[in-house]
Amino acid sequence: MSNLYVTFGKKIDTYTFILENNLFGVRPPLVDNNKNIIVEFSSPNIAKPFHIGHLRSTIIGNCIANLNSFLKNEVTKINYLGDWGTQFGYVYIGMKMKNIDNIEMHTDPIKTLYTSYVDANKLAESNPNIHEHAKEIFRQLEFEDDEVYKNWEKIKQFTVLELEKTYKRLSVKFDQYEWESMYTAKKVNKIINKMEEMQLLKLDNKNRKAIAVSEEKNVPIMKSDGTSLYISRDITAAIDRFERHKFDTMYYIVENGQTDHFNNLIQILHKLNLTWADRLKHVKFGRVHGMSTRKGTAVFLEDILNKAKEIMKQRQLEAKTTKIPLDKLDESSDILGVSGVIIQDLKQNRMNNYKFDWDLMLNMKGDSGIKLQYTHCRLCSLEELSDATLVTECDSALLKEPEVDQLILLISQFDEVVLKSYEELEPSINMAWHKLTIKNEPKDLGNQRLLLFHTAKIILAQSMKLLGLTPLEKM
């Protein structure tokens, strides 16, 4: 329960709150946490475009990680990159076809890997041998064949460097990059052996080793040629992570479409008698429409962020009220564009599908990230222009207007909203913030009003940071 309970008749708690927050920075609601939490999120596949589902995972995952840290849990953020499976045989063939060297990989790894994948797939349409060849290359990778495997290591390094540039724009920082390729057939085999010992495995009609998770359902976990599957790598990864981190909870922020996969994963861990299996939680989310493109032309995350930035830059150039010097415009329009993208996503309930809408997303009016930034900037400039003094005593007798009560109510909901988001893993943005009106001119505001607005400002800024935004002071 929130330690802040405010009614109009009971303002005093809020005033204490206002003061404490001014003196000590925004303090988190008091909860007895100290849990060891893993948040696995983003997790794109390195030869395929970072699609909008990965963007949702990145935004939601980052916010869940922020909330957990704010509430004093120990948080490890993991990005689990998909770099394994027959598809990577295709990538390899595509690279060989075009003699792609490390320099090219170095300058534009993500797009280079993707074009290689697309090229090899095109070739496979007319040449059926390619698929077999791709499988063979993947088999070599699985068994850690020297040359192929070493090359792969380089490709991975370049990719991380490139991804980090984009994550930086989103203020996302991972503690660990982990790879499906950490869980090669060798490592998976240890667990398969254990399953054999426990007599959990049968051969299915494709000669794959499968485990029965229920009467009707067999889940294949090893292919007939001895290569691993997505699920077998996840089983091995979960066990490995538990050994390393002894986590209390591990969240997987992954789209709704993988619900079966995660249910299977948890059930299989139960079959292995691992008592911590229920500490795994699949945090799912709906789809985004309106971003699909013609075949072969993928939407890259970087391109989305660039477009949002360009639109915001143009608007800032055209607006007469812009307070940013020209040479700083690039930076602020990037932050604004990113804010638009993040809030468009977080204002939805996780499970909702939504339509990607550039206009709504970057609109100054309405429930947008731009509006939140604008509100924060107004509060900053109000404070800057005001000649009142920021006092440390709160005198409730002076704050009488109904607008004041509304604002206090909003401020007082901070704890409750944070705790609710934490419990339900729903950011649930309170858009009432954008109704915050500052009617009086600074000269009419007394010290008490300044104190109130100052508190509103720091609470708003803290909330924006939790959502993954960088609060701007001017725009």
List residues binding ligand ARG (CB under 6 A).
Answer: 40, 43-45, 80, 82, 234, 252, 254
As to burial, measured by CB atoms within 10 angstroms (0-12 exposed, 13-18 middle, 19+ buried), residue 328 is exposed
Q: Which of 274, 75, 73 is nearest to 172 (CA)?
A: 75
Give me 413's structure tokens.
């909901």
* Residue (71 or 253) nearer to ligand ARG, CB: 253
52: Cα separation from own chain's centroid: 11
Report d(CA 184, CA 162) in Å as an integer: 24
The most distant pair of C-alpha atoms in the chain lies apart, rounded to whole Å, by: 83
Smallest separation, CB 19 to ligand ARG (Å): 44
Alpha-carbon dihedral 404, 405, 410, 412, rounded to 10 degrees = 110
Q: Which residue is nearest to ligand ARG (CB)?
A: 82
Smallest separation, CB 45 to ligand ARG (Å): 5
Smallest separation, CB 44 to ligand ARG (Å): 6
Which residue out of 11, 51, 77, 457 is catalytically annotated?
51
* Residue (40 or 426) nearer to ligand ARG, CB: 40
Smallest separation, CB 252 to ligand ARG (Å): 5
Which residue out of 10, 11, 35, 48 is catalytically annotated?
48
Contact 346, 59 (CB under 8 A): yes
Q: Which of 352, 373, 353 is nearest to 362 (CA)?
A: 373
Is 54 catalytic? The answer is yes
Smallest separation, CB 456 to ligand ARG (Å): 39
Residue 393, CB-side half-sphere exposure with 13 Å CA sphere: 4
Q: Which of 438, 331, 329, 431 is nearest to 383 (CA)?
A: 438
* Residue (40 or 415) nearer to ligand ARG, CB: 40
Report d(CA 4, CA 305) in Å as an integer: 38
* Residue (254 or 466) nearer to ligand ARG, CB: 254
Smallest separation, CB 138 to ligand ARG (Å): 16
* Residue (40 or 142) nearer to ligand ARG, CB: 40
* Residue (251 or 433) nearer to ligand ARG, CB: 251
* Residue (53 or 340) nearer to ligand ARG, CB: 53
Is 328 catalytic? The answer is no
Is 307 catalytic? The answer is no
Smallest separation, CB 41 to ligand ARG (Å): 9
Residue 459 phi, psi (nearest 5)? -70, -40
For residue 8, the SS3 value is coil
How many Cβ atoms from other residues are within 10 Å of residue 194's Cβ?
Answer: 12
How many Cβ atoms from other residues are within 10 Å of residue 398's Cβ?
Answer: 13
Distance set, CA 342 to CA 145, 223, 233, 311, 354 (Å): 42, 40, 31, 16, 13
Which residue out of 10, 11, 35, 54 is catalytically annotated?
54
Report d(CA 361, CA 31) in Å as an integer: 34
* Residue (45 or 332) nearer to ligand ARG, CB: 45
Report d(CA 450, CA 395) in Å as an integer: 12
Smallest separation, CB 315 to ligand ARG (Å): 33
Report d(CA 17, CA 412) in Å as an integer: 8
Active site (catalytic) residues: 48, 51, 54
